[in-house]
A and B are shown apart, each in its own frame.
Chain A
Amino acid sequence: MAESYSDGRTADDEFQEQFLNDKTLKFAGAAVATLFTLVVGLFIGAIIFTQVDFGLFVEIIYPQFVNAYLLVLGIFLAGSVLSIIAGIFVGLGRVSKTRVTNTVASGYVEFFRGTPLLFQLIVIFFGIPAFWPPGEFPIQNWAIPAAIIGLTLNHAAYVGEAVRGGINAVPEGQMEAARSLGMSYVQSMREVVLPQAWRNALAAIGNDQVILVKDTSLLTVIAVPELISAFRQINSATFDPWTPILLVAIAYLGITLPLGKVVRYLEARSDWGGDR
């Protein structure tokens, strides 16, 4: 126990006042941040100057990394659009008062969130073609469609939960006002509830889509020539880790950073006279 002073203040109070006040904390925060930046900066600088082979760097950019980057970008864009569309329907299913719809949507979410994406990719990539006699599976380059299907199914579950949260955050009175004007449930959802739910869910959907970008790294397991596969190829040919690592980092950030900008743009666009 802290010892008591005559005015009822304790040693804890004294300590807080002296060392944990707003000013000292602000200073400490800035100091730690600066130190962190310095250390990381030095580390990255050291790697670039001592480890990265610029001749190799230029050599592997094209076609290998550009191709891998474009492939990841394409898979991401397809998976993103499809998972958001599918996710809206999953979210609608989750808020449905019809028992069967609700149960199916819940089961969908439980399954796709409850098993690893890698497992789901394996099921699709290896499992589906097994329904055909060996060699007769009709789709030639199955890895890429399998990748898009897997990412879509998996992320539709997460988008669906974000959409459900977004719908539930729209006040009940919005649906009632729309219905009282004679609009059907579908019209009310589409015109009134979903636009507001979309704004509510935007941050969560954006987070999920960033994860989707990073999840494309798992596609190396089903032989998609994406960025990690490109790294492994170059590394095993040259025994140089850091040159391809640098390129991989640039490539991923080259998708996730613009994606963050898009999300912020969309958020700013649904400002509606500026309440939040």
Chain B
Amino acid sequence: MSLLEFDKVDKFFGDTHVLKDVDLNVEEGEVCVIIGPSGSGKSTLLRCANRLEEIQDGEIRLDNQSISDPNADINRLRQRIGMVFQSFNLFPHKTALENVTLAPTKVKGLDESTAEKRAESLLDRVGLSAQSNSYPNQLSGGQQQRVAIARALAMDPRVMLFDEVTSALDPELVGEVLDVMQGLAEEGMTMLVVTHEMGFAREVGDRIVLMADGRVVEDSPPEVFFENPTTDRGKQFLSKLL
């Protein structure tokens, strides 16, 4: 049994078949990198994994508990799935610290001072202890994204989902966010990462999953994928990168 399992998942937007019979298992502690052309369904896959989107067929399970079941207690399950978005989505009316403490106090019922202590150590971990009282619009994109990572970590998730979290950043700010993610990976966090950063994919990823047209078309370790992809789609994708 894997930590996060996609079991024959089908997703439609109206008549558009966006995820086609997707099978994907993410093991505990694994960093699974999803790559693929724009529109291939990467974001949708991640959004289904914490039910920001509903699936039409198949099942998604975390720790062997169904996420996609309509009767699942989704608010409980979501606490165990952290998500970081391309557009940060920090709460602009709250300071960095308040962004991190909000869910633990409201959802887990942590008292204010415990939540703040934890938030401070998380902000420290992403290198932002000096910015804890800044509002998001006083922070750079890279800093905002690191706060967003701390915010997701504050719920003690079992798995973290990253959807092109560096795509909206100025090039010189990409590194600081990737460094934080690499740190997390090294500490053993289970991660499902959609990215165009091939250096990161190769160095940090345990597996490379190539999606095309709503399907998983290749699933290999990075050494294999980047040296000698096993499928034609993999070879095609790689040749476009070079």
Contacts and interface: CB of A to CB of B under 8 A. Distances in A.
User: Is chain B a partner of chain A in the same complex?
Assistant: yes
Interface of A: 171, 173-174, 176-184, 187, 191-192, 195-196, 199, 270, 272-275
A181 B78 contact: yes
B83 A273 contact: no
Contacts of B83: 177, 180
Interface string B126-138: 0000000011111
Interface of B: 50, 52, 75-76, 78-79, 81-83, 85, 87, 89-93, 102-103, 106-107, 134-138, 148, 151-152, 155
Given A181-B78, A182-B76, A182-B79, A176 B106 contact: no
B219 to A, nearest CB: 25
B78 A171 contact: no
Contacts of B138: 273-274
29 contacts: A171-B87, A173-B85, A174-B89, A177-B85, A177-B89, A177-B91, A178-B91, A179-B52, A180-B78, A181-B103, A182-B75, A182-B76, A182-B103, A182-B107, A183-B103, A183-B106, A187-B107, A191-B102, A192-B91, A196-B92, A196-B93, A272-B92, A272-B93, A272-B137, A273-B92, A273-B134, A274-B137, A274-B138, A275-B92
A187 B91 CA distance: 14
A48 B39 CA distance: 73
A209 to B, nearest CB: 22
Contacts of A180: 50, 52, 78, 81-83, 152
Contacts of B151: 181
A173 B89 contact: yes
B107 A199 contact: no
A272 B102 CA distance: 16
A247 to B, nearest CB: 43
Contacts of B82: 180
Contacts of B91: 174, 177-178, 192
A140 B148 CA distance: 58
Given A181-B152, A187-B106, 12 more contacts: A176-B85, A180-B52, A180-B81, A181-B103, A181-B107, A181-B155, A182-B79, A182-B103, A183-B102, A183-B106, A191-B102, A272-B135
Nearest to A177: B89
A273 B144 CA distance: 14
Nearest to A182: B79
Contact of A195 (B78, B93, B106, B136): B93
A187 to B, nearest CB: 5
Nearest to A270: B93
Nearest to A195: B93
Given A187-B106, A187-B107, A182 B78 contact: yes
A177 B102 CA distance: 12
A272 B138 CA distance: 9
Contacts of A191: 102, 106
B158 to A, nearest CB: 12
B135 A273 contact: yes
A45 B58 CA distance: 81
